[in-house]
Amino acid sequence: MSQSLITTDDTHASHTVQHANSALPMSFYVKWLWAIGLLILLGFIPSYVLQFSSLTEAHHSHASVSFLWIAGMLVQVTLIHYQRYTHHRILGYLSTCVLLAFVLSTLSLYANIFQTQFNTSTIFRLVLSLDLVLFPAFILFMYKAILRTDSPHAHAHWILLAAMMLLPPGLGRLIHGLFFFPFDAPVRFFYEPTVVLTGLFIYSIGRAQRWHFKSTKACLVLFIAAVIFSYGVGYGF
């Protein structure tokens, strides 16, 4: 994804944010972030509990940090909803440490999975290759969000895009747990509903914003490219 395509939003957003958000109050971002955070937790927590005894220490460490990050995001969103801006700012500073730990633990876990499970099945290759594209985008979007703390709507916009990059793993586990696992359906086929729903969510956000922001367009294009890439990797072995 072109860096210029992302960075132009800083100037563009400063000129259009008031107009673009006249129909998009902060509650728009609050509701979306609540929904994404809850979907991720609903997907990960049951999966983690069911697999608890078979997981390694690295998995447990990553799960703990991931829970702190997602739960922290939900708390932050709730503070904004109730207009507790000072508390939101203080928790935001503290969250940078959790963010760093989350990034490092995720990269470490990806490296381990790549070495041990990448060639075990098609679904592992599909999921991991998608994550290997989306997680760097999450890091970039969070970096942009940190830079845009001067503008609440721009900051929320980047946080929302970043959160969307984390949705597929949690959403996939939720779909598998609700519709595949109870019926002993093949695990391979939860991937398509996951990527279709995620793509539709990004499209819905862009449409609600009337496509004012180039970064939302770039996010959707990146996601589609990541899905295509994942199929190339998944079936290229």
- Distances in Å between the Cα of 210 and the Cα atoms of 20, 149, 151, 204 are 8, 23, 19, 10
CA distances from 68 to 16, 45, 125, 155, 183 (A): 34, 12, 27, 20, 32
Please give the Cα distance from 34 to 26 (Å, whole number): 12
Phi, psi of 119 (to 5 degrees): -95, 10
CB 91 within 8 A of CB 76: yes
Per domain, the residue ranges of the chain are: 3-234
Distance CA 175, CA 138 (A): 22
Q: Which pLDDT score is estimated for 23?
A: 54
Q: What is the pLDDT of residue 87?
A: 96
The pLDDT assigned to 16 comes to: 46
pLDDT at 168: 98
- pLDDT tens, the chain, 237 aa long: 444 444 445 544 444 444 444 458 999 999 999 999 999 999 999 999 988 988 888 889 999 999 999 999 999 999 999 999 999 999 999 999 999 999 999 999 888 877 777 778 899 999 999 999 999 999 999 999 999 999 999 999 999 999 999 999 999 999 999 999 888 889 999 999 999 999 999 999 999 999 999 999 999 999 999 999 999 999 986
Assess contact for 110 and 128: CB atoms under 8 A.
yes
pLDDT at 237: 61
